[in-house]
């Protein structure tokens, strides 16, 4: 799908065809495309919990203000941001060392910079997790559309409840959820609401 078409065609599909599944293979391909999303120092401070089983869906439904799409969708992704993704134990640092031909000084410098930029306050840690994982979320919705798979992002959810019930670590934050599936065309989606354009939202300084 052309990029311009993709952006204009993507909708948050409130009504999901509950009888149409999504194969694990397609899900994998969508995620493996979406992870081309940029991230700070390429640290990829995120993980994804794919909620597919009926029990897990019911649990997430309760933690999503009973939004029906969680029950209807073949899968809903919990996008988890890692507030400590700059730390030494992120395997990306080892990959970085290999990618820069073993230049340890460079990697040590990058680690120190990342620790300062993203780990020096709770606010910075949360911004780091949420900004990177949020970009991944958009990439997933765009990648899904390229596979003709529809999506619905949600943040009207119980973040603390999800953290607890889906066993997130202390250093992690649930950032948003995204239902994936196919629009149930028998139910009418409200018309797409207009956007505020450049002249209203942008300034050139």
Ligand X SMILES: Cc1cc2nc3c(=O)[nH]c(=O)nc-3n(C[C@H](O)[C@H](O)[C@H](O)COP(=O)(O)O)c2cc1C
The interface with ligand X within residues 62-91 (CB under 6 A) comprises 67
Smallest distance, ligand X to C-beta of residue 142, A: 12
Question: In the complex, which residue's CB is closest to ligand X?
Answer: 156
Interface segment toward ligand X; rule CB under 6 A; list 44-52, 55-63, 90-98, 154-162: 154-162
- Tell me whether residue 98 or residue 193 sits nearer to ligand X (CB atom): 193
Task: Give the chain as a 3 state SS string.
Answer: CCHHHHHHHCCECCCECCCCCCCHHHHHHHHHHHCCCCCHHHCCCEEEEEECCHHHHHHHHHCCCCCCHHHHCCEEEEEEEECCCCCCCCCHHHHHHHHCCCCHHHHHHHHHHHHHHHHCCHHHHHHHHHHHHHHHHHHHHHHHHHCCCEEEEECCCCHHHHHHHCCCCCCEEEEEEEEEECECCCCCCCCCCCCCCHHHHCCCC
- Tell me whether residue 27 or residue 174 sits nearer to ligand X (CB atom): 174
Smallest distance, ligand X to C-beta of residue 102, A: 40
Residue 154 binding ligand X, by CB under 6 A: yes
Out of 5, 28, 156, 160, the residue judged to bind ligand X by CB under 6 A: 156
Residue 161 binding ligand X, by CB under 6 A: no
Q: Which two tokens stand for residue 96?
A: 């970085």
- Tell me whether residue 38 or residue 156 sits nearer to ligand X (CB atom): 156
Out of 133, 142, 176, 180, the residue judged to bind ligand X by CB under 6 A: 176
Residue whose token pair is 């999303």: 37
Residue count at the site for ligand X (CB under 6 A)? 9
Interface segment toward ligand X; rule CB under 6 A; list 45-53, 88-96, 98-106, 152-160: 152-160
Q: Which residues bind ligand X (CB under 6 A)?
A: 11-12, 67, 153-156, 176, 192
């Amino acid at each position: 799908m052309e990029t311009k078409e993709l952006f204009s065609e993507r909708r948050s599909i409130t009504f999901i065809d509950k009888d149409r599944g999504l194969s694990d293979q397609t899900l994998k391909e969508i995620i493996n495309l979406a992870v081309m999303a940029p991230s700070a120092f390429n640290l990829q401070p995120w993980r994804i919990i794919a909620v597919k089983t009926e029990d897990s869906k019911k649990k997430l439904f309760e933690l999503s203000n009973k939004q029906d799409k969680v029950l209807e969708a073949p899968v809903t992704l919990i996008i988890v941001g890692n507030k400590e993704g700059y730390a030494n134990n992120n395997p990306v640092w080892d990959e970085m060392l290999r990618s820069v031909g073993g230049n340890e000084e460079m990697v040590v410098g990058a680690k120190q910079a990342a620790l300062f930029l993203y780990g020096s306050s709770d606010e910075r840690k949360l911004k780091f997790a949420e900004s990177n994982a949020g970009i991944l979320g958009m990439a997933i919705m765009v990648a899904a559309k390229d596979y003709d798979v529809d999506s619905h992002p949600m943040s009207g959810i119980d973040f603390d409840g999800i953290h607890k019930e889906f066993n997130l670590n202390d250093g992690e934050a649930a950032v948003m959820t995204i239902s994936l599936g196919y629009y149930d065309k028998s139910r009418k989606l409200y018309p797409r609401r207009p956007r505020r354009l450049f002249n209203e939202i942008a300034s050139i300084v």
